Amino acid sequence: MIRESKYSFLYQAADGSIMRPESFLNINKGRTLSASQLRALGITKVKNESYKQQATSVKLTQRQTKNNE
């Protein structure tokens, strides 16, 4: 079973295989790949259809509630 990615995108290789951005964090000092790195590797970014945006923080929600009162 494939774990959910915390990113809104995935990487797709030229052969069509899909890779998660988390796989590259160790080789790129904890960052996702830059556009030039993607081009050099022949990888493209694709939208992650199963991505669900994280809920906002409780403090932000409480602040918005106070402003609406």
| 45 has pLDDT over 80 | yes
* CB-CB contact of 10 with 20 (8 Å): yes
* pLDDT on residue 6: 76
H helix or E strand, kind and range, residue 45: strand 44-47
* CB-CB contact of 33 with 12 (8 Å): no
Q: Which two tokens stand for residue 60?
A: 């932000």
Question: What percent of the chain is predicted at pLDDT more than 70?
Answer: 65
Which residues lie closer than 8 Å to 47 by C-beta, 6 or more apart?
8, 9, 10
Position of tokens 């993607």?
38
| 57 has pLDDT over 60 | no
Average pLDDT over residues 35-61: 76
* pLDDT on residue 36: 92
